[in-house]
Chain A
Amino acid sequence: MKTSSGIENLISYGPVPGDGAGPPAPERVLFPPTFSVSEIKNKQRRHFMFLRWKQQQRKEKLALKKKRRKEREALGDKAPPKAVPKTIENQRVYDETTVDPNDEEVAFDEATDEFAPYFNRQTVPKILITTSDRPRGRTVRFCEQLATVIPNSHVYYRRGLALKRIIPQCIARDFTDLIVINEDRKIPNGLVLSHLPDGPTAHFRMSSVRLRKEIKRKGKEPTEHVPEVILNNFTTRLGHSIGRMFAALFPHNPQFIGRQVATFHNQRDYIFFRFHRYIFKSEKKVGIQELGPRFTLKLRSLQKGTFDSKFGEYEWIHKRREMDRSRRKFHL
């Protein structure tokens, strides 16, 4: 091509013919030290030079890697251990509210908070599941499936009733928790979890909701056995509060015969809910089948007291501009 031969000329022969008199062209062209590829105005030539530079960088990198590998093999046992790659979880900014298990004041605070009656086995969880007004298909089916997953739960249709009126009636009928699934355009997108007698109310944003039929390789329907509960990675004080809230939904004595487990896994402030059935094939090998719905939650606010978004006092609110400044700082 005409242009490429022109570039070759530029590279091999120094000054472009037509520039006028110049010294005899050397073998390798010498660019002035402050020259940079981006100064070439012609896009095609510039692109070509850039590609060449990139290839050169890649070659150098490969050579370096090879050299390092040879050195490592040469050293054998005395080689230094491989460097651990940095991940966002590795680089997480240390949160000073991380719970220290030996701290007696924090332990007292947790032992006497609103969930103490549940953890002291004085109350049995009884859950009321409802939705925002006029729910559509997916949300209704999601509520039914959630009710099979959480034992001792009842689904009621929300007939446009105000939550502040429902709550005293629930308390009178011995309900311990209220779950409200919020729906937007026929998909569930929010969850309000309120612990009943006077307990905190957590407001979550829900995403990635998959109903049972949308899960691939699923098992049969969940049975009536009480599942085990796994709470992963709730380290800070706020995380502990939320973890206890989830734990208070399930009765204390899991029935191991049922081999069902509900997992709340917190990673980077997102809580993943999964429901599995497991079977031990041997001592070390386990097979799991995913049953039940799956969804992801992100905490938006934790309010002290039962649901009162207008006049309630908030224990924690997610303020995006202030709290999401660093990619390595998490709150749960």
Chain B
Amino acid sequence: MAAPTRLCHVWVGAETGALKGVNLQRKEATNHVGGSGLSRGRGVSALTWGDPAQTELLVGSLDRSVSVFSTEKGKFTGERLCPGGDGAFCGLGVLGSSIVTAVESGLVRVWGEHEAEEPLQELTAGPGLCRMRQDPTRPHLVGTGGKENGLKVWDLQRPQEPLFRAKNVRNDWLDLRVPVWERDLQFLPGSQRVVTCTGHGQVRLYDPSTPQRRPVLDAAVGEAPLTALALIPGDTSVVVGSARGDVAVIDLRKGRVLRALKGFAGGVRGLQCHPRLPLVASVGLDRFLRVHQLRDGRLRDKVYLKSRLTCVLLSTHLDWEAQEEPPPQKEVKDEEGDELWDALESVPTPRKAKKRKISGV
């Protein structure tokens, strides 16, 4: 019997096209794309909530289709094709009732309700795009970044010029240009600041409200490319994951590594922190979903999910702490037994005598 989709704490997308809902209390994962629906051409490349109430999921696949999955009904309710540009989706967003998509060739489009229509808005963010994200507090702002494509913050209502275009850092100590490769970015909710992680192992913080276009903070974290970034509620630290499976919590005030999370065997593709609980969920190429506790770095849950995983999404409206009720049938049987046990006299249990070890010849 499939676990009811309402109780899925984490939603994970895989390269084979599978969309899995994972119930962490029962450590069960249900695959919502059946055997015939699995296909490499429909691998999941982007995953986002379709509405603020978290009842609909938007799944972006490699064949440029965006499917809508309803968590209430437990099945796919709609699908639309979003053509244009080359490459897979590198970002999905929702603006009112329209969908914002970005592809790797740099084309960012806003699509209306009906499928056959032309896109409502379109902007080109430059080639080699790796990530597009929406500002959660101001949904008409999107940020884009990619390989040799610095951070740009766009207003979807004025697609001609970006609001903020980042400048590269100064030349390094050999006077060589530092290459740019923004792999992931997040908007910090308190202010206008944007934090990015690069493919050269750097974490950068930009502040569009200041006249400085160079990053305010540029911290080097290891040598491996950083592939995923997640914000920790509290605004002072972020979690980054690398292509080698090194996940670290970075402090944004100084740029230092606060804690490393262990247990990863392969590259990390997706990270997300829970907004209220100190938990971070991560998925990667080693086919596992892991949930760590941020306070002590302990691994809380580890679920094997059979295919290489690309995207993760937490269901934050659910009550994670609630214990599941035991199934009602068991209680009925226990009542009869309880009467029997109550009728018996209670005998005090003898204290176990301590065994003394006698050492000697």
Contact = CB atoms under 8 A, between A and B. Distances in A.
B266 A314 contact: yes
Interface stretch (B70-78, B211-219, B300-308): B300-308
Nearest to B225: A311
Contact of A31 (B244, B304, B308, B360): B360
Interface string A309-322: 01111111101001
Interface in A244-266: none
A102 B169 CA distance: 54
Contacts of A304: 267, 285, 308
Q: Determine chain A's interface SS by DSSP, over half rule.
A: mixed
B16 A316 contact: no
B304 A97 contact: yes
A37 interface: yes
Contacts of B39: 112
Given A105-B16, A323-B265, A316 B225 contact: no
Given A105-B306, A311-B243, A35 B267 contact: no
A137 B358 CA distance: 64
B266 A315 contact: yes
Contact of A316 (B35, B286, B306): B286
Interface string A92-111: 00001100000111101100
A147 interface: no
Interface in B238-291: 243-245, 262-263, 265-267, 285-287
Given A105-B307, A304-B285, A313 B227 contact: yes
B67 interface: no
Contacts of A287: none
Given A96-B304, A315-B266, A108 B16 contact: yes
Contacts, number: 79
A34 interface: yes
A304 B227 CA distance: 14
A36 interface: yes
Interface string B330-361: 00000000000000000000000000001111
Interface of B is mostly: loop
Interface of B: 16, 18, 31, 35, 38-40, 199, 223, 225, 227, 243-245, 262-263, 265-267, 285-287, 304, 306-308, 358-361
A129 to B, nearest CB: 28
Nearest to A97: B304
A315 B286 contact: yes
Contacts of B306: 103, 105-106, 109, 237
Contact of B245 (A52, A108, A319): A319
Interface residues of A, number: 31
10 contacts: A34-B358, A34-B359, A105-B31, A312-B243, A314-B243, A314-B245, A314-B267, A315-B285, A315-B286, A323-B265
Contact of A37 (B31, B35, B361): B361
A104 B361 contact: no
A46 to B, nearest CB: 11
A85 interface: no
A49 B243 contact: no
A317 B360 contact: no
B184 to A, nearest CB: 13
Contact of B359 (A36, A109, A313): A36
A53 interface: yes
Interface of A: 31, 33-37, 49, 52-53, 96-97, 103-106, 108-109, 112, 237, 304, 310-317, 319, 322-323
Contacts of A311: 199, 225, 243
Nearest to B20: A105
A37 B359 CA distance: 9
A312 B18 CA distance: 24
A33 B358 contact: yes
Nearest to B305: A105
A109 B307 CA distance: 7
Contacts of A312: 243
Given A52-B361, A108-B35, A317-B265, 14 more contacts: A33-B360, A36-B361, A37-B360, A96-B304, A103-B306, A105-B18, A105-B31, A105-B307, A112-B39, A304-B285, A310-B223, A311-B199, A315-B285, A319-B265
Contact of B244 (A97, A112, A314, A322): A314
B242 to A, nearest CB: 9
Contacts of A49: 361
Contacts of A96: 304
A52 B285 CA distance: 60
B355 to A, nearest CB: 14
A36 B285 contact: no
A208 to B, nearest CB: 26
Contacts of B223: 310
B38 A108 contact: yes
Nearest to A237: B287
A304 B266 CA distance: 10
A104 B35 contact: yes
Contacts of A34: 358-360
Contacts of B285: 304, 313-315
A97 B225 CA distance: 27
Given A103-B306, A105-B16, A109-B307, A313 B243 contact: yes
A34 B356 CA distance: 11
A60 B285 CA distance: 56
B227 to A, nearest CB: 7
Contacts of A36: 359-361
B45 to A, nearest CB: 14
A52 B361 CA distance: 9
Nearest to B244: A314
